[in-house]
Amino acid sequence: MELRKPVPPQVRRTSTNWRVLVVENNTGDMETLATGLRRHGHQVEGVGTGNAALQAYQGADIVLLDLELPDLDGLDVCRSIRSLSDVPLIAVTGWGTELDRVLGLQAGADDYLVKPYGFRELVARMDAVMRRSRPQVHTEQVVLRGPLRIDAASREVSLHGRVVELTRKEFDLLYLLACHPETVVSRKRIMQQVWGGSWSRRTVDTHVSSLRGKLGASDWIVTVRGVGFRFGGG
C-alpha cells in the first residue's frame, strides 16, 4: 500500500463549508451523496478506490470512507490515514455487526455509519465529528513565564524587557508550549496545531533549535525523548 506523505494543507475551516472526500466504490451512491453535500455548500471530491483515497485525503477537511473497496482493505486504508493525519473520518459501510463497528473504530474512524442511512443523520454526524475535531483556542492573550512575555494580540515576544524577533511559526510553537507549561506536547499535536497537520520531524526540530538560539538557552524548550517537547522556563 503506497501512502503519500501529507503536504502542508490550508488551515482547517471553522465554518460549515468543508472540503469532503467521499471514498465510495458505488458510482451511483457516490453521485447521490456528492449532490446532497454540495447542496449544503460543501466542496466534494469523490474517489472509488483505496489507493486514490490515500492520495487525496490530505486535501480534505473530513473523509467519508466506504470500507468495501475494490483494491484495498478499507480498514487498512483507515489505519494508514490515521497513522499520519488527524483528519476527521467517518466509516460509511454496509458492514453492520457489533464487531464490524468495533474494528472500524479501532482502526481510527471517528464515527461509524451503516448503510442504508438517512442523509440528515449523516450530516448530523459530520457536524458532531467536526465539532470534536476543532483545535482548542488559547484564551490567554498575554503569557508571562518568568522574564519571558508573550503577547498573543501583538504577536510580540520579549525577554528581560528586550524584544525577541520570531518568525510566525516560531511564535506559534513557543506560544503553544508556554500555554501548557506542565504538559509534554507531542510532535503530532505540534504539527497539527502549528502546521495544520503535515508531518515532518525535521521541521519541528529546526524550529525548536532556532527558538532556543533566539531565547539564549536550551532550557526554555525541553526535549522529552520519544514523545515531544515541554516548556522549561529557561
Query: pLDDT digits over 20-58, tens only?
Result: 999 999 999 999 999 999 999 999 999 999 999 999 988
Q: Residue 75 in contact with residue 103, Cβ under 8 Å?
A: yes
Q: What pLDDT, on the 0 to 100 scale, is given for residue 180?
A: 85
- What is the Cα–Cα distance from 192 to 197, expressed in whole angstroms? 4
Q: DSSP string covering 162-193, please?
A: EEE---HHHHHHHHHHHTSTTSPEEHHHHHHH
Q: Are 159 and 148 in contact (CB under 8 A)?
A: yes
Nearest 5°: phi and psi at 72? -130, 160
Q: pLDDT value at position 202?
A: 80
Confidence of residue 197 (pLDDT cuts 50, 70, 90): low
Give the pLDDT score at 86.
Answer: 77
Contact in structure between 229 and 188 (CB atoms under 8 Å): no
Task: Work out the widest C-alpha separation in the chain, in whole angstroms.
Answer: 64
pLDDT of 234 reads 65
Residue whose C-alpha cell is 465539532: 131
| Residue 60 · residue 68 · CB < 8 Å | no
DSSP secondary structure letters along 29-56: HHHHHHHHHHHTT-EEEEE-SHHHHHHH
Q: What is the pLDDT of residue 138?
A: 46
What average pLDDT does this structure show over 162-169? 91
Q: State the average pLDDT for the chain.
A: 86
Among all chains, which residue has been given the C-alpha cell 508556554? 178
pLDDT at residue 194 is higher than 60: yes
Q: Which residue has the higher pLDDT, 17 or 148?
A: 148
Average pLDDT over residues 146-159: 92
Can you tell me the distance from the alpha carbon of 22 to that of 9, in angstroms, rounded to the nearest whole number? Answer: 18
pLDDT of residue 187: 85
What is the spatial distance between Cα 203 and Cα 171, in angstroms, rounded to a whole number?
14
Q: Is the pLDDT of residue 92 over 90?
A: yes
112 near 89, Cβ under 8 Å? no
Q: For the chain, what percent of residues have pLDDT higher than 70? A: 88
- pLDDT at site 63: 97
Contact status, residue 87 vs residue 63, Cβ threshold 8 Å: yes
